[in-house]
Amino acid sequence: MSSTVPNSDLKARHRAMWASGDYASMVETFLLPLGPRLVEACGIGSGMRVLDVAAGTGNASIPAAQRGASVTASDLTPELLEAGRRHAEAHGLELEWVEADAEKLPFDDESFDVVMSSIGAMFAPHHQAVADELVRVCRPGGTIGLLCWTPEGMIGALFRTMGPFAPPPPPGAQPPPLWGSEDHIDELFGDRVDWRTLERDLLEVTAFERPRDYGEHFKARYGPTIAAQANARTNGREAEFDEALDRFCDEWNRGTPDRARFEKEYLLAVGTRA
């Protein structure tokens, strides 16, 4: 009989991974444009009931609240929610911050006008469970909006680079960047969502002077990279991991050796819940 990780243990490990490093500073460094992009595409306005799933530090939740929506920001990792709460308070905004698992949301059926996730829900291991929950809590005629890294883009390549060094994924887990595939989105949601926007775009990143500074930033701040490096270290492969990450940074640099520029492809998917 194959051994499986109890779900509570899996969630605890997942939570700890995202609490490691400093994801809030990554958002501030280069991810800030993504939340407003999704909020705009979802047409969020005053009085709407909005749920941001795997909201992290509120990169999409806070812009939605700034438009007058009633926003609930949910995430598995309380440390990220706490950082988001402080950020919202600094802007004089009131949001509801709820610790929640994207695969089993603690909200009533059909209780939100907009259910969205910006590079968040894609990292829950069981994709179909997440998709089913997003549909369940959205009212018929409401909006489901997703912004996800693509398999073919830079973050998809990063996960392929880290894969051989990372701890083995839990049973039934699927790779996060699959959420950035139009075919995968269709499989997950079927005829339950009528997609009115399904387009790929690029986030340009110019925050790093040298290409390999990008890799150092991820090793210091990004939970999945920290976990992969720690596992590589345990297996005596840390130097190999560092070399692979350096090669990745050099390969994806679209700037010069002294002024790095990266382009990260994402899929923007916004539709109406049937």
Full set of structural domains in the chain with CATH:
7-204+265-273 (3.40.50.150)
pLDDT the model gives residue 2:
34
pLDDT the model gives residue 62:
98
pLDDT the model gives residue 78:
94
pLDDT tens digits, residue range 50-64? Answer: 999 999 999 999 999
pLDDT the model gives residue 109:
98
The span from the CA of 200 to the CA of 260, in Å, is: 22
* Strand duo 193-205 + 262-273: pairing: antiparallel
Contact of 130 with 124, CB cutoff 8 Å: yes
pLDDT the model gives residue 6:
61
For residue 18, what are the contacts with CB-CB under 8 A and spacing of at least 6?
76, 77, 79, 80, 123, 223
pLDDT tens digits, residue range 107-158? Answer: 999 999 999 999 999 999 999 999 999 999 999 999 999 999 999 999 999 9
Query: What residues in the chain have per-residue pLDDT under 70?
Result: 1-6
